[in-house]
Structure formats: structure tokens, C-alpha cells
């Protein structure tokens, strides 16, 4: 008889005081590990996605001979693989002096919409009037931001160098 009373008392004390709250306790207990697992999986997927969004085929300067103080256009042939924002940095390096001159400030890069096709992006630039005459090299680098992690570690692509000849500025 005493055994039955002990079993009945044990059943009364192990049952939840409010049965409707039992699912809520389960959610509270299991939600933080599930959220952490989703966050870690997302970070791993983002971290191991270094695929470049474009393939740069070639870079050509038009015209090939430019007077200092005048404009030229860089024709960049690219194959767009996916949509990503980025920043294009362009520099002109005199072969005589060897130090780079940045052209403009960094400009926002916009890619053509046709994926998988080779297309030409034209970017005009101004040759500084004080730039030394002679052969020079046009260099461009694009830093892409395809996901939030790329804000700290962008996917950087360096385009092939393009040669240009700088003539003395015209006297006015």
C-alpha cells in the first residue's frame, strides 16, 4: 500500500505545472544551438566562396597615343559570371619614372547584365597634364563584394596591363 502512495506522489511531482508551456520550454532549450548551427553553416558557405564574378579577357587603351592633359578610354573585355558589386581602381605608371599615378578616385564598378558572354566595358580616364611623356602602362584592379564577408576580404582581380604612349601636352 505504501508503494502505491509513493508512485502516485512521484507522478504528481514530475508532471509539468503548466502543460501548455512544455513546447515553449523545448523551443527555448533547442533554439540557441539551432541558430548557432545555421550561423556557422552560413559563415562557412560564405567564407569558401572565392569564385571571381568576372573573367577579364583583355584591356586596350583607345587611342594608343594620348597627349598629357587629354582623355583616353580603357576598353576592358570581360566575361560576367555572376552579379557582384565592386570598386575599380585605375593607375597609370610611367615606364621612365616608375611610380603609379592614380586616375580619378575609385569609381563604382557596374557590370553588364549578360552572363556568360564576352562584353566590352568602356571606362574613360584623364591623363594628368603633368604626366611624363613616353611609354606608360595602364593598370586596373577590381575589388568585388559578393557577400558580407567580402566587405573585409574582397575578391580582387587584377586586369592585364595595357600599354599607352603619352605625348607632351599641347601648348595653348
Q: What pLDDT, in 10s, does the model give residues 19-61?
A: 556 777 777 777 888 888 888 887 777 667 777 888 889 999 9
- The overall average pLDDT reported for the chain is 79
pLDDT for 106 equals: 46
Give the mean model confidence (pLDDT) for residues 76-84: 86
Residue 73 scores a pLDDT above 50: yes
Residues 134 and 82 in one domain: yes
Cα dist from 24 to 15, 21, 31, 32, 167, whole Å: 15, 5, 10, 13, 77
Residues 21 and 59 in one domain: no
Residues 23 and 70 in one domain: no
- Coil, helix or strand at residue 23: helix
- Pick the more confident residue, 45 or 5: 45
Q: Which three cell numbers stand for residue 40?
A: 556557422
pLDDT for 162 equals: 93
What's the domain range around 90?
A: 54-167
Proportion of the chain above pLDDT 70, given as a percent: 79
Confidence of residue 66 (pLDDT cuts 50, 70, 90): very high
Main-chain phi, psi angles of 52, to 5 degrees:
-70, 145
Residues 27 and 93 in one domain: no
Is residue 116 a contact partner of residue 81, using CB atoms and an 8 Å limit? yes
Least confident span in 80-84, 140-144, 168-172: 168-172
Task: Name the domain count of the chain.
Answer: 2
Amino acid at each position: 500500500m505504501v508503494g502505491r502512495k509513493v508512485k502516485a506522489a512521484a507522478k504528481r511531482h514530475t508532471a509539468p505545472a503548466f502543460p501548455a508551456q512544455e513546447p515553449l520550454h523545448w523551443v527555448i532549450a533547442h533554439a540557441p544551438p539551432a541558430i548557432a548551427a545555421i550561423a556557422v553553416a552560413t559563415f562557412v558557405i560564405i567564407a569558401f566562396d572565392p569564385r571571381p564574378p568576372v573573367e577579364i579577357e583583355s584591356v586596350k587603351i583607345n587611342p594608343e597615343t594620348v597627349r598629357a592633359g587629354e582623355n583616353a578610354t580603357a576598353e576592358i573585355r570581360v566575361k560576367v559570371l555572376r552579379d557582384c558589386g565592386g570598386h575599380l581602381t585605375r593607375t597609370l605608371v610611367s615606364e621612365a619614372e616608375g611610380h603609379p599615378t592614380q586616375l580619378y578616385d575609385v569609381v563604382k564598378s557596374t557590370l553588364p547584365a549578360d552572363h556568360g558572354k564576352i562584353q566590352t566595358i568602356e571606362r574613360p580616364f584623364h591623363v594628368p597634364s603633368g604626366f611624363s611623356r613616353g611609354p606608360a602602362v595602364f593598370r586596373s584592379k577590381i575589388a568585388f563584394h559578393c557577400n558580407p564577408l567580402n566587405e573585409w576580404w574582397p575578391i580582387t582581380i587584377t586586369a592585364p596591363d595595357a600599354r599607352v604612349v603619352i605625348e607632351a601636352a599641347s601648348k595653348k
